[in-house]
Amino acid sequence: MSGISARVRARALAIALAATAASPFAANAAEGPFVINYSLPPPTLDPTIVCDIADNGFLAPLYTPLLRYETKAVAKAPEGVEVTTEDTTKIVGYLAESFTVSEDGKVLTFKLRDGLKFPSGNPLDAAAVKASLEQAWKSGTCGTYFLEAAQFGNTETIEAPDATTVVIRLKRGEPLLAHALTQPNLGIVDVKAVEANGGKAWLAGHAAGSGPYLLADYQPGVRAILKANPDFFGAAPREKEVIVNFITDNATLLLQARNKQADVTLGLSKASVESLKGADGLKIIEVPTSRWQMIALPNQTAPFDNAKFREALSYATPYDAILKNVAHGYGELFFGPYPPQFPAFNPEIGAPRAYDLAKAKALIAESGVKTPVAAEIIIREGQNDQEQIATIAQAAWSQIGVNLTIRKLPASGYQEAVGAKTKTAAIVRFDGPSVDDPAWLLDYDLRCASAYNTSNYCSKDAEALLDTRHGLTRDADRQALWDKIAKIWVADAPRIPVYADVYTAVVSADVKDWHFAQDGPFDLNAWGR
Amino acid sequence: MSPETATPLLIVDRLEKSFAARNSNPFKPSREKLRAVDGISFTVERGETFGLVGESGCGKSTAARAILRLVEPTGGRVSFDGIDIAGLAPEPMRKLRRRMQMVFQDSTGTLDPRMSVRDLVEEPLIVHGLGDAAARRAKVDAMLELVGIRPEFATRKPHQFSGGQRQRIGIARALVLEPELVVLDEPISALDVSVQAQILNLLKDLQERLGLSYVFIVHDLTVAEFFCDRLAVLYLGQVMESGAASELFSNPQHPYTVSLLSAVPRVGTKGSNRIILEGEVSPLGSGASTGCAFRARCPVGRDRPICASDRPVLAPRGTGDHTVACHFPGELRAAP
Amino acid sequence: MKRDWGRTALRRVWADKVFALALLIAALLILGPLLGPSLWPLSPLDMDFGAPLAAPSLAHPMGTDSNGRDVFARFLTGARISLAVGAVVVLAGLIVGGTIGVVAGLGGRIADSILMRLIDALAAFPPLILAMAVTVALGVGLKTAAIGIALSSVPFFARLMRGDILRIKTLPFVEASVAMGAKRSRIVGRHLLPHTTPTMLVQCASVFGYAILTLAGLGFIGLGAQIPEPEWGAMITDGLQYALTGQWWLALFPGLGVLLAVVAANLLADRLEETLNPRSARNQVR
């Protein structure tokens, strides 16, 4: 490292020493704990509150939902690693041994396994499941959203007629509910244990679940130690002890990855991932996803309430430059409500938008908005890609008279901004639906009243169209609906999709199996050396 | 002494200055006081030189400062041209200073080393708003010439001059305002003997020319004899004896004055007639509140009870306005 | 007189090579930011996506960053920012701290006690924490960072000025000024303050270096200058993540900038102190 100033070297050394001191359990070959370095510490461990995919993914090892997706192999896997991902067309039982849906879709019946227990000793029976689902249902936060699959008020009852049967009755059939029930934030919570320990506040920092792993130690923002649950009903997890280190500093992540101090490194900036290509003893896994980086615009706040103004911004964003410099090619461009990996994606409607400054300036003039405009853009701490995107947008948009101030918020502050009812600033967000279904996505992202509408986008026409989806059963009809909605969306330009993400993970050569579902150690029990 | 009955320029009446003892506890202030000036009285007529004579520690410097109100008197009155100084508010006092100036013992320290000589001498004129720049410059040049500093050197800084020259500069600064009274605090003590005579002559010369009145503080008796018209001998902040210089030197009455004079080498005497006083002047806590201040060292009154119990009052003795504060004046005689 | 002083000053500088070096660095660091941005054609904000993370070359003497911006242009503008903040901090600290020091020195026991206890309270905060607290309270940004740093420098100036005033006011020429009838304002302005110049000058140089360092520290943790202002500390933070991927120039140059600026400031302070202090060996008359 010659040529680097003493200052930088000293700092790097300090970081290295601190890192080694902080993680005495560095990975050894095929024995000892399995070390995961992860850049996004979850803001809370309470399943009913967590909403973000990234934070959702961390809950998966701790809580078991009733159902899960079948796995399928990923095409472009590096040599020596078996990479699988979720097959969202096939839902099978998980905690539930089996399940059935009635003809009209209104009744879902789940058959549980007999004699299961929570780690606390409380019985994991139908009554416990009912209690857990009801807690999610009544939570008023993301848990409600998922359990009702956005059809608020659709759930009539949840019953536990006997010790191994749970029945959910709906007012109207909703195929998305089965999908929702595969998500970890609907994982079954040991409600009795939570109450015994002081309620929801305790749950934010502890686990009371039935997952393949137990939370042996948790230091928020620092480290979590997971140990295999000996009473887990399913196949025993491959790795008995897992240490997840939360490291938000990209430089440290990179250093540790290079020094093979972690078996799996998640959340590295794409630039760093690119620099590790071909590194000895490391493999890079790429999985195209239906999540994307976007700049969410606050449609209810002037001047972002002006459609032409938003359109102008969409033409003033240098997409190719961002794809090259921020994503380093690990992405796909598009412009529309759905990303290219999505089933509803139509290349004619959702084609990428050009970077055209002249057109942007003309649109600004047409819009009637007076420049210069001062606006804020919010990014999350620890997200280098977001910072770069915001910086590029700042430079690009200043050329059409829109001056951005960049505000960097820690995880909790960012969560607040994202969850605010009326958004006042642009937000760089990395997001996507937990369920790869257009209905699911539009339900939360299109409806005016939805709390999870990333841009406060409100189009009466689009929403009216969406309401008609329940009547459509044929695929061709549904696709036509999605296309119509997409066209309206593109004209309104409520937000700016920057690129669809190709997820990258860096694993050491020892890792033989790796499963992708969402960000984070999702389905951790399937990972191993 | 002038037989005219003009009002004296300066009347000092039972002036006192006490300091609280230094190491006093703020919660229990010591009642012990250092009486630097313990009730002295004298007058200075216009145009005359009045001397304050005594050894170090007798309080003459403090008295000088108290007269000019550079320290606040703690008792007595000082009256300048009929004006009671102690009663003046800060601003009138400041203006009054124009008429009463001081020449300091330390010629180096009292001249701001960063200012040129011209600036130093000009400063009093600026302070009192006298004349414009041209008029001031002329005055300064005239003053410098008067004290014997060549005006072309006026741009130099004090440290570039000799000790004697610096004292001249100090004198020029004090006189540029044409004050009526000048207090001179041992102005030649820090100078070489050869230079001392020059300065003294200059001072005398200026006094005649400008009609100044001097309060001259000195410890060297020969200088006092040469320079002063009248003088007072101080011991521990009190006047022991006062009167015309010629009278005092020819007919000293107080044992202290006699001893001081005997120590002065005179041409023709053998010098073995010195009266040696034991002990030192120590103003603090020598129990001098009762009895005579000099009693501890006085060969006359050391063992006499009245000297221990009664403080002697200044009483006339001899000719003119010669006064002595002693129970047994004239008893101690210098050897012939 | 003035000519003499000039010649002796030059001789002195030439004799002391370290002093000369410090002066040279200082001159560069002052001229550079003043003239540089106008002379150097590239802008610190222009992004060139065709050549991101380019190594130093003739076209880009300090390379480019992840967005293709010219690092040299950013370095010069960063120098400007550091310089401006340093100057503001020194001036503000000197005026506020100096005034407090004068009032405390001249105001009598009670005023002195009260003021000095306030200063003690202010000085109890570690400088970086105080600057952070101010930026958090008043909003993040360069201006508030400067205020915070200036605030933390006030105790230095106040204490020094007070000590000097206490010393100087007992000097004989002050009494002489009173005796001649000078007003207090004149005594303070013409006699007291000029004599504090040597000490305060040295302190200014020292605080200048301290201000730059603290600003860089604030930039390092994301307070201070905001994106996209090219402040040295923020540039070091951004550049660090690239240190490991081989782009050493991003953090090195701003780091060197801070290093050189602070060293030059401290060297100057040191040499000035020796030169102006009449008691130092250098100034003894041979």
Per-residue model confidence as pLDDT tens digits over B291-331: 888 888 888 888 888 888 888 888 888 788 899 988 888 88
Domain membership flag for residue A493: yes
CA dihedral A266, A272, A276, A282 (to 10 degrees): -10
Structure tokens at B142: 């005239």
- Nearest-CB residue to A251 (from C45, C47, C240): C240
Residue C92 pLDDT: 95
**In this model, does residue C62 exceed pLDDT 60?**
yes
Contacts of B124 in chain C (CB under 8 A): 180-181
Instruction: Give A376-407 pLDDT, tens digit per residue.
Output: 999 988 777 888 899 999 989 999 999 999 98
- A302 and A232 fall within a common domain: no
Residue A430 in domain: yes
Beta bridge partners of A505: A266, A285
Sign of the CA dihedral running A58, A61, A67, A71: positive
pLDDT band at B335, cuts 50/70/90?
A: low
Tens of pLDDT along A18-61? 444 444 444 444 578 999 999 888 888 888 887 777 777 788 88
Q: Specify if C156 maps to a domain.
A: yes
Mean pLDDT over all residues of chain A?
85
Q: What is the CATH number of the domain that holds A421?
A: 3.10.105.10
Computed on alpha carbons and rounded to an integer, the radius of gyration of chain A in Å comes to 23
- Full residue range of the structural domain in which residue A58 is found: 3-263+510-526
Which whole number is the average pLDDT over A119-147? Answer: 86
Q: How far apart are alpha carbons A176 and B305 in whole angstroms? A: 123
- What gap in Å lies between CA B239 and CA B73, rounded to an integer? 17
Total number of domains in chain C = 1
The domain total for chain A is 2
Contact present, B15 and B64 (Cβ < 8 Å): no
Report the gap between the CA of C227 and the closest CA in chain A (Å): 6
What is the C-alpha to C-alpha distance for residues A313 and C209, in angstroms, rounded to an integer? 43
Is residue A345 situated within a structural domain?
Answer: yes
Nearest residue on chain A to C45, judged by CA atoms?
A395
Query: Mean pLDDT throughout B205-221?
Result: 90
C-beta of residue B111 within 8 angstroms of C-beta of residue C173? yes
Examine residue C53 and state whether it is found in any structural domain, yes or no.
no
Q: How far apart are CA A469 and CA A442, in angstroms?
A: 11
Residue A145 lies in a domain: yes
Of A5, A255, A269, the CB nearest to C252: A5
The Cα of A401 is separated from the nearest Cα of chain C by a number of Å equal to 15
Please tell me the distance in Å from C90's CA to the nearest CA on chain B: 25
Distance between CA atoms of residues A58 and B237, nearest Å: 92
For B116-139, what is each residue's pLDDT tens digit? Answer: 899 999 999 999 988 888 999 999
Per-residue pLDDT, B269: 56
CA–CA separation, C223 and C231 (whole Å) = 11
The alpha-carbon gap from B230 to the nearest alpha carbon of chain C, in Å, equals 25
Task: Identify all chain C residues contacting B127, using CB atoms and an 8 Å cutoff.
Answer: 180-183, 186
DSSP state of A352: P
B124 touches chain C (CB under 8 A): yes
Residue C280 to chain B, least CA–CA distance (Å) = 17
* Predicted pLDDT of residue A105: 82
Whether C55 is in a domain gets the answer no
B243-277: pLDDT as tens digits: 998 888 888 888 888 888 887 776 665 555 566 77
Same domain as A311, residue A247: no
Q: With an 8 Å Cβ cutoff, is A81 touching chain C?
A: no
**Chain A residues touching residue C241 (CB < 8 angstroms):** 249-251, 254, 269, 272, 384
Taking alpha carbons only, the member of A368, A334, A363 closest to residue A351 is A334
CA dist A520 and A53 (Å) reads 9
* Cα(A444)–Cα(A432) distance, integer angstroms: 11
Contact list in A for residue C259 (CB cut-off 8 A) is: 5, 7
Q: Are residues A426 and A335 in the same domain?
A: yes
B124 Cα to chain C: minimum distance (Å):
6
Read off the tokens for A72. Answer: 């399928």
pLDDT digits (tens, 9 = 90+) for A210-267: 889 999 999 988 999 999 988 888 888 888 999 999 988 887 888 899 888 899 999 8
Residues A356 and A248 in one domain: no
Instruction: Pinpoint the alpha helices (H) of chain C.
Output: 2-15, 17-39, 71-106, 109-124, 127-138, 142-168, 172-180, 184-186, 193-220, 232-243, 249-276
pTM above 0.80, yes or no: no
Most A-contacting residue of C45, C236, C241 (CB-CB within 10 A), to test interface: C241
CB B329 within 8 A of CB B254: yes
Taking one residue from B and the other from C, the number of pairs with CB-CB distance under 8 angstroms is 52
The first and second tokens of residue A59, run together, are 């809950």
- A201 and A318 within one domain: no
CATH number at residue C107: 1.10.3720.10
Using CB atoms, pick whichever of B113, B155, B174 lies closest to residue C1.
B155
A391/C227 CB distance under 8 A: yes
Which residues lie below 8 Å from residue B43, measured CB to CB, with a gap of 6+?
B8, B10, B11, B12, B50
Q: Which residue from C45, C46, C255 is facing A8, i.e. has the nearest CB?
A: C255
A256 and A333 fall within a common domain: no
Q: With contact defined as beta carbons under 8 Å apart, do B158 and B108 qualify?
A: yes
User: Is the residue at A273 inside a domain?
Assistant: no
Closest Cα in chain C, distance from residue B141 (Å): 19
Find residues 140-199 of chain B whose CB sits inside 8 Å of chain C: 155, 173-174, 177
- Other C-beta atoms closer than 10 Å to the C-beta of B279 total 8
The distance from CA B258 to its chain's CA centroid, rounded to whole angstroms, is 20
Any bridge partners for residue B238, and if so which? B235
Residue A252: Cβ within 10 Å count: 23
Residue A42 shares a structural domain with residue A173: yes
**Which residue in A has a C-alpha nearest to residue C228's C-alpha?**
A391
Shortest CA distance from A322: residue in chain C: C49
- In this structure, are residues B218 and B52 in contact, taking their beta carbons and an 8 Å threshold? yes
Q: Which residues of C touch A (CB under 8 A)?
A: 45-47, 49, 52, 66-68, 222, 226-228, 236, 239-246, 248, 251-252, 255-256, 258-259
3-state secondary structure of B108: coil
Residue in A1, A2, A11, A39 to test binding to C, most C beta-carbons within 10 Å? A11
- CA distance linking residue B195 with residue C89, whole number of Å: 53
Residue A238's domain is classified under what CATH number?
3.40.190.10
- Quote the ipTM score: 0.82
Helices C71-106 and C17-39, packing angle to 10 deg: 120
Shared-domain flag, residues A333 and A405: yes
The pLDDT of C275-286, averaged and rounded, is 57
Residue range(s) defining the domain that contains residue C76 = 2-29+71-285
* Under 8 Å between Cβ of A193 and A122: yes
CA distance C165 to C168: 5
Nearest residue to A32 via CA among A221, A196, A260? A260
Clarify whether residues A141 and A96 are in a common domain.
yes
Strand pairing partners for A83? A514
3-state class (DSSP) for residue C88: helix
DSSP-derived secondary structure for B265-281: --TTS-STTPPPPPS--
Q: Residue B78's closest CA among B46, B70, B69? A: B69
Helix spans in A399-457 (H): 411-419, 438-445
Structure tokens at B196: 């001392």
User: Are A258 and A395 members of one domain?
Assistant: no
**Tell me, what's the pLDDT at A137?**
87
- Cβ distance B147 to B179 under 8 Å? no
Mutation to test the C interface, candidates B69, B80, B91, B94, most C Cβ within 10 Å: B94
Task: From chain C, pick out residues whose CB is under 8 angstroms from the CB of B98.
Answer: 181
* Residue in this structure with the two tokens 């993914």, named with its chain if needed: A57
User: Mean of the pLDDT values across residues C24-38?
Assistant: 80
Question: CA torsion A13→A18→A24→A25, rounded to 10°?
Answer: -80
**How confident is the model over C204-227, as a mean pLDDT?**
84
C46: left (phi over 0), alpha (psi -120 to 50) or beta: beta
Give the CA radius of gyration of chain C. 22
Calpha distance A274→A293 (Å, rounded) = 18
DSSP B142-158: HHHHHHT--GGGTTS-G
| Paired tokens of C52 | 């991101």
Taking the C-alpha atoms of residue B95 and residue B115, their distance in angstroms, rounded to an integer, is: 23
Q: pLDDT at position C119, please?
A: 94
Do B and A have ≥3 inter-chain CB pairs under 8 A?
A: no
Distance CA A12, CA C140 (A): 27
Judgement on whether residues A100 and A205 belong to the same structural domain of the protein? yes
First to last CA, chain B: 28
Give CA torsion, residues A170, A172, A173, A179, to 10 deg.
-60
* Side chain identity at residue B239, one-letter code: V
β-strands A373-380, A96-101 pairing: unpaired
How many other β-carbons are positioned within 10 Å of the β-carbon of residue A468?
Answer: 11
Q: Contact C228/A394, CB-based, under 8 Å?
A: yes
Q: Given CB atoms, is B110 within the 8 Å cutoff of chain C?
A: yes
Strands of the sheet containing B75-80, edge to edge, are B33-44, B10-20, B75-80, B83-84
pLDDT for residue B22: 59
CA dihedral A181, A185, A188, A191 (to 10 degrees): -140
Residue C195 scores a pLDDT above 70: yes
Q: Which of C47, C67, C248 sits opposite A4 (nearest CB)?
A: C248
The pLDDT assigned to A175 comes to 81
Q: Per-residue pLDDT tens for C131-155?
A: 888 888 888 888 888 999 999 999 9
A42 domain residue, yes or no: yes
Residue A496 lies in a domain: yes
Spell out the residues 6+ positions from residue A173 whose beta carbon is closer than 8 angstroms to its own: A104, A105, A106
Query: Which range is least confidently modeled, A287-301, A318-332, A471-485, B205-219?
Result: A471-485
Bridge-based pairing of strands A223-228 and A241-246 is antiparallel
Task: Kindly report the nearest CA distance between residue C39 and chain A, in angstroms.
Answer: 22
**A482 shares its domain with A418:** yes
To the nearest whole number, what is the mean pLDDT of chain B?
Answer: 84
Contact between A501 and A431 under an 8 Å Cβ cutoff? The reply is: no
Determine, yes or no, domain membership for C107.
Answer: yes
Q: Side chain identity at A134, as an amino acid letter?
A: E
Of C178, C183, C191, the CB nearest to B112: C191
Segment A139-158 shows an average pLDDT of 82
Measuring CA to CA, which residue among B45, B50, B39 is closest to residue B217?
B50
**Mutual angle of helices B133-147 and B163-175, in 10-degree steps:** 130
Which of C173, C179, C183 minimises the CB distance to B111?
C173
Instruction: Give contacts of C195 with chain B, Cβ < 8 Å.
Output: 114
Residues of B in contact with C186 (CB under 8 A): 127
Chain B, nearest residue to C185 by Cα: B127
For the residues of B185-222, what is the DSSP string, one character each? Answer: ESTTTTS-HHHHHHHHHHHHHHHHHHT-EEEEEES-HH
CB B248 within 8 A of CB B257: yes
- Interchain contact, C248 vs A3, CB within 8 Å: yes
Q: What residues in A contact C239, CB-CB < 8 Å? A: 8
Interface mutation target, options C244, C245, C256, chain A, most CBs of A under 10 Å: C244
Query: Cβ of A372: how many Cβ atoms within 10 Å?
Result: 10
Query: Order of strands, edge to edge, in the sheet holding B238-244?
Result: B100-103, B181-185, B213-218, B49-53, B230-235, B238-244, B323-325, B314-316
Report the gap between the CA of A7 and the closest CA in chain C (Å): 7
In a domain, A269, yes or no: no
- Residue A7 has its nearest CB partner, among C67, C68, C255, at C255
pLDDT digits (tens, 9 = 90+) for A80-116: 888 888 887 788 888 888 889 888 888 999 999 888 8
Q: How far is CA A158 from CA A123, A169, A210, in A?
A: 18, 6, 20
Give the type of residue at C152.
Answer: S
A96-101 and A155-162: which strand pairing? Answer: unpaired
Mutation target for B interface from C1, C169, C171, C173: give the one with most B CBs within 10 A: C173
pLDDT digits (tens, 9 = 90+) for C12-28: 666 777 778 888 888 88
